[in-house]
Amino acid sequence: MSQNEPADVRLDKWLWAARFYKTRSLASAAVNGGRVQVNGQRSKTSRLVNVGDIIEIAKPPYRYTLSVKQLSDKRGSGLLAQSLYEEHPASLAARTAQAEQYKLLGGAANPHPDKRPDKRSRRQLKQWQGKT
């Protein structure tokens, strides 16, 4: 442990410092929602992260499996954030394959209409959704 590395860091602070979430509140919501597991177990936001912990993060459509290399409770540059963890090769390969698959699908994964719905189409959509 280096001189400026903190002794203990909360899970939500570490996720925020590692730039997986833009804010600590988003990181806390993900942890409380069960999207983040530490060493294969669901945990709380106040759990202390240790060097060597395995963290699994589900940020749809991707899943990350990481090993904690360093601790930090301050958000720094992207290069500094990448030095805090090491992604497992299987996780990286799965994410790369999934990204390639989305590229091949083009717009099929998230289709967009060619034009905005007109008045009649909007009425039909509302009726179909049960809003009227």
Along the 132 residues of the chain, how does pLDDT read in single tens digits?
A: 455 677 789 999 999 999 999 999 999 999 999 999 999 999 999 999 999 999 999 998 889 999 999 999 999 999 999 999 999 999 999 999 988 888 887 656 566 778 888 999 999 989 988 886
Is the overall model pTM greater than 0.85, yes or no? no
Confirm whether 29 is domain-assigned. Answer: yes
Identify the CATH number of the domain in which residue 16 sits. Answer: 3.10.290.10
Q: Residue 80 belongs to what domain range?
A: 1-90
Confirm whether 44 is domain-assigned. Answer: yes
Confirm whether 30 is domain-assigned. Answer: yes
Confirm whether 43 is domain-assigned. Answer: yes
Number of domains in the chain: 1
pLDDT value of residue 108: 60
Confirm whether 129 is domain-assigned. Answer: no
Confirm whether 130 is domain-assigned. Answer: no
Confirm whether 122 is domain-assigned. Answer: no
DSSP secondary structure letters along 19-84: TSSSSHHHHHHHHHTT-EEETTEE--TTPEE-TT-EEEEEETTEEEEEEE----SS---HHHHHTT
